[in-house]
Amino acid sequence: MTDHSHDHARQLRTATLLVHQGRDRDPFTGAAAVPIYTAATYHQPGGQGGGYDYARSGNPSREQVEEAIALLEGGTAGFAYASGMAAIAGALSLLRSGDHLLASLDLYGGSYRYLSTVLPRQGIAVDFVDTTDVAVVAAAIRPETRAIYIETPSNPLFRITDLRAMVALARSHNLLTLLDNTFMTPLLQPALALGIDVAIHSATKFLGGHSDLLAGLTVTADADLARRLKHYQNAAGNVLAPFDAYLLSRGIKTLKVRLEAAQSNAGQLAERLRRHSAVHRVYYPGLDDFPHRDRHLAQAAGPGAVLSLELRHIAQVGRLLERIRLPIIAPSLGGVETILTHCWSMSHAAVPEEVKASLGLSQNLLRLSVGIEDVEDLWADLEQALEG
């Protein structure tokens, strides 16, 4: 915000920050959108370095969204990466060989793949534990444990971890807490305010919101962690491109109206789906019989716009996927359009079958990221696809 200091910006409410972010106009021309700076490098007058030198190290378009996520999460610094997985890798760069990481049992398939295959090759041991049970996590802590990696609600079974309790446990053992906050966004679940050390977002999802870019973000309130995250981002170079940064900034501006509309639709569909004869179970934190509903709503301002449904019979899955018309059938979420995912074969394809089975992730499970269409059209389509 060129007319305001960041101190003033931090006093603004989230809905206002989403629109105005850190910079809401070009400081040079007053243009209503910060330009897309495509330069790979920057002139150094007289050989003296200025604010920018090389685009991997800093770019005004990228810095705009990095400032935005820092303001939205109440952090000191934000970092934008080329994908959500690149952001996860950035956060996990805080670990070193010989360290031990505890992680939620129930994770996005790409996260599971990174933690179970990449980190061990770097000499980092990983144990997957039930983070919904503080005693289980406490019992798994070893002298070399350095961090706890959490998803809540978990993807796709919506297990809820008590973030305040996890932060208290971590601090008592001098551990870092890393939270993938993609499902909830800073609008619904203020990660750093709950004490989390590093919040992570696949900005491809709700923050971008239009299924047209790949992006990841991390943010921290700790100056030393910010320095280490910046060092890795610059050294590894998996940074967000200027055009995608522009798209992401544009998407963030409408997050509140998009997410509120999608969340309203999701609530109505969850209620109707759980009463449908073809549906065995619906996982959605907004349902009154959802386990740990109170735990979720004690740390989040709403249930979100994603739900999972388990059909009664495996044969129904193929029939539904063949008959459905409005939703995109794809491994993603958070778009303005409704997206239907067969978790077993799409979002969690990287998780070994025996692990999926042990988690209770069945082949009958579908994840529905509800969009902003008319809810009656969505319901009519779901109904006809579930017929018979």
Of 24, 99, 180, 244, the catalytic one is: 180
Alpha carbon separation from 221 to 48, 136, 291 (Å, rounded)? 31, 28, 31
Of 42, 52, 56, 113, the catalytic one is: 56
Rounded distance between C-alpha atoms, residue 189 and residue 198, angstroms: 13
Neighbours of 55 (CB within 10 A): 20
Of 108, 114, 283, 284, the catalytic one is: 108
> Is residue 146 flagged as an active site residue?
no
Rounded distance between C-alpha atoms, residue 308 and residue 228, angstroms: 37
Please work out, in degrees rounded to the nearest 5, the angle formed at the alpha carbon of residue 88 by the alpha carbons of 243 and 235.
70
Give the helix/strand (H/E) hosting 109: helix 109-113
Rounded distance between C-alpha atoms, residue 286 and residue 291, angstroms: 10
Are the beta carbons of 68 and 22 closer than 8 angstroms? yes
Are the beta carbons of 71 and 21 closer than 8 angstroms? yes
Of 205, 258, 295, 356, the catalytic one is: 205
> Is residue 180 flagged as an active site residue?
yes
Q: What is the CA radius of gyration of the chain?
A: 21
How many residues appear in the chain?
A: 388
Rounded distance between C-alpha atoms, residue 232 and residue 368, angstroms: 35
Structure tokens at 53: 């030198």
> Is residue 81 flagged as an active site residue?
no
Catalytic residues: 56, 108, 180, 205
